[in-house]
Chains A and B, each alone.
Chain A
């Protein structure tokens, strides 16, 4: 990745991602935190574009920004007003400890990796992804869909009101 354009793009994307990740942690209002999270997702999608993986980038936007953020927003809407403070929490110290441990592990791993760059980037088109998913990795694909279906059914079961359950028990 040479040239002025990709380099500038890389630094811009990293700045965007890091600043918005900081915003997720540091903003007081929970909804502002969710919006910063959305910007972080878009930043990560920008990284994928820099790596010429456009399909993954757009899939990231569709899934994360389009669907998962909506899920998080619904979760925020369902919390009562008192619980919407993103500020102080009792878990601050354990959280910092865990973050430091994770940072240390990542630093060692990054230091020890051999970052040899390949001359040509592999071709990653939508069709090659599709072939991989349905040919070589078909079993994990199907298992993932079974897992998602189980999650869907579980979510519906969790939010049924007692009246609906009684009605279905009668049938």
Chain B
């Protein structure tokens, strides 16, 4: 861009793999002119661990820990998606108690993941770790619950094909209710502090707008899609694990900017609290999983099973050839597909806006690179 004789030229800024705000090892080659971004090219693959190839050597049950480590911030949802896909392929039924426990764990995982997402997003707007500390404080209580049931905080490896691995211990329900009681005033506090904070609004409103058409055309899902005003949630559209029994709503944004996505995530946390309460109230008795052989051999065929993970539609595509290992194991990562709209959202804004937009998409590199 040159005017009246002053010749300026754009230069390439590497928002590089090592950066405090790219949520992992992710590289964006941004071409900037002054402070405006005119092009953004993504370079991914720094965390590629070839999980899909390794999964072809292991049995179906041995693949469950792999799914933990793709999206390491929402391991329960990953396990759930995979087990759902295998159960559809093998025709295994899950008992009612198993389904209820699955729903409780998935919704707690959504709470944990969203609180981390909100914390780091507000942190990216510059508030020097204060929101991160507050959100992680709540997440710690949820992770304690996970440790109580599955033995691990982050990579839980809890779901099995046919149900869950362990039943809920008897101190789970009072602890869970205590956590939910803590969470409600925390959500009110975050809402009160942030939705009327002028600096926050001016940093996130009309920043990174994703129009409805573009959201659908680029296969966005999850809070990105709902923030742009499209009412699509797999829990409502293709219910699994008994979600049709619970009464909840899905929040929709207005115009698809970062502020809308933030509002959608905050409201989803409230709805998750509602779902968990309903599930805990109506927890049925009975077995927590059906017995399946250790090296299950599903019949020949292919299946695509999807769940609503905190980041969007997490899908597993499995092809079976009646062996103990899958012939093809492919993960449809929501973060990667959501990132395809990054260029459209960042071009025209400043670098500070690009960081805010990246924070609002909520990516996890384990999932993007697998």
Contact = CB atoms under 8 A, between A and B. Distances in A.
Do A and B contact each other directly (Cβ–Cβ < 8 Å)? yes
Contacts of B4: 158-160
B3 A78 contact: no
Contacts of B1: 161
Interface in A155-169: 158-162
B11 to A, nearest CB: 12
A159 B3 contact: yes
B6 interface: yes
B7 interface: yes
A76 to B, nearest CB: 14
Interface in A138-167: 158-162
Q: Is the interface of A mostly helix, strand, loop or mixed?
A: loop
Of the four ranges (under 10, 10 to 19, 20 to 34, 35 or more), the interface on chain A belongs to: under 10
A158 B4 CA distance: 7
Contacts of B3: 159-162
A54 to B, nearest CB: 39
Nearest to A157: B4
Interface in A75-99: 78, 80
Q: Is the interface of B mostly helix, strand, loop or mixed?
A: strand
Contacts of A78: 6
A80 B4 CA distance: 16
Interface string B1-45: 101101100000000000000000000000000000000000000
Nearest to B7: A80
A161 B36 CA distance: 14
Interface string A88-113: 00000000000000000000000000
Contacts of A162: 3
Interface centre among B1, B3, B6, B7 (most CB of A within 10 A): B3
Contacts of A161: 1, 3
Contacts of A159: 3-4, 6
Nearest to A162: B3
Nearest to A160: B3
A128 to B, nearest CB: 43
A121 to B, nearest CB: 47
Contacts of A158: 4
A161 B6 CA distance: 10
Contacts of B7: 80
A160 B1 CA distance: 11
A152 to B, nearest CB: 17
A75 to B, nearest CB: 11
A121 B6 CA distance: 49
Contacts of A160: 3-4
Nearest to A78: B6
Nearest to B1: A161
A132 to B, nearest CB: 40
B314 to A, nearest CB: 43
Nearest to B4: A158
7 contacts: A80-B7, A158-B4, A159-B4, A159-B6, A160-B4, A161-B1, A161-B3
Given A80-B7, A159-B4, A161-B1, 8 more contacts: A78-B6, A158-B4, A159-B3, A159-B6, A160-B3, A160-B4, A161-B3, A162-B3
- The 10 A-B residue pairs whose C-beta atoms are closest, nearest first, are A161-B3, A158-B4, A162-B3, A78-B6, A161-B1, A159-B6, A160-B3, A159-B3, A159-B4, A80-B7
